[in-house]
């Protein structure tokens, strides 16, 4: 699971721990199986704890609660993701400036008066 998906999943669970796996899958744009796999990975790492709503009429209702280490993992993933996006932004800025320079050169070359030979 990459940092972007991990961060997205941890953010959603922090905001809405009572989402079903099906709702979570829909939010993430993933299959239910992939969502289940990702949740199990977070649970195995101790970042998410599963609470069953015993008082709920729906005995299959769960809450996915971030643990203190899950909150730290969310912070770390956000930090890494931000750094990655900033690096990508800087790379794109350099590429844009290079393309602008190339276009300016091409335009000035095309704007130069063409010499024609007269017979």
Q: What is the pLDDT along the chain (119 residues), one digit of tens a residue?
A: 888 899 999 999 999 998 999 999 999 999 999 999 999 999 999 999 998 765 555 556 788 999 999 999 999 999 999 999 999 999 999 999 999 999 999 988 887 665 555 65
Total of domains in the chain:
1
Cβ–Cβ under 8 Å, residues 50 and 62: yes
CA distances from 5 to 46, 54, 93 (A): 17, 30, 25
Residue 17 lies in a domain: yes
User: What DSSP character marks residue 51?
Assistant: E
Residue positions counted in the chain: 119
Question: Which CATH number does the domain housing residue 54 bear?
Answer: 1.10.10.10
Give the predicted TM-score (pTM) of the model.
Answer: 0.70
**Domain extent at residue 45:** 3-99
Q: What is the pLDDT of residue 27?
A: 94
- Residue 93 and residue 49: Cα distance in Å, rounded? 42
Which 3-state string (H, E, C) describes 5-19? HHHHHHHHHHHCCCC
Q: What is the pLDDT of residue 112?
A: 65
Residue 91 lies in a domain: yes
Q: What is the pLDDT of residue 61?
A: 73
- Residue 115 and residue 83: Cα distance in Å, rounded? 52
């Amino acid at each position: 699971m990459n940092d972007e998906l991990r961060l997205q999943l941890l953010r959603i669970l922090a905001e809405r721990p009572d989402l079903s796996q099906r709702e979570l899958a829909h939010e993430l744009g993933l299959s239910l199986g992939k969502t289940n796999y990702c949740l199990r990975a977070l649970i195995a790492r101790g970042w998410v704890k599963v609470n069953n709503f015993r008082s709920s009429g729906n005995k299959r209702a769960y809450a996915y609660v971030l643990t203190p280490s899950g909150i730290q993992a969310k912070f770390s993933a956000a930090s890494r993701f931000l750094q990655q996006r900033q690096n990508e932004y800087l790379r794109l800025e350099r590429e844009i400036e290079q393309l602008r320079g190339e276009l300016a050169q091409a335009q000035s070359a095309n704007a130069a008066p063409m010499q024609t030979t007269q017979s």
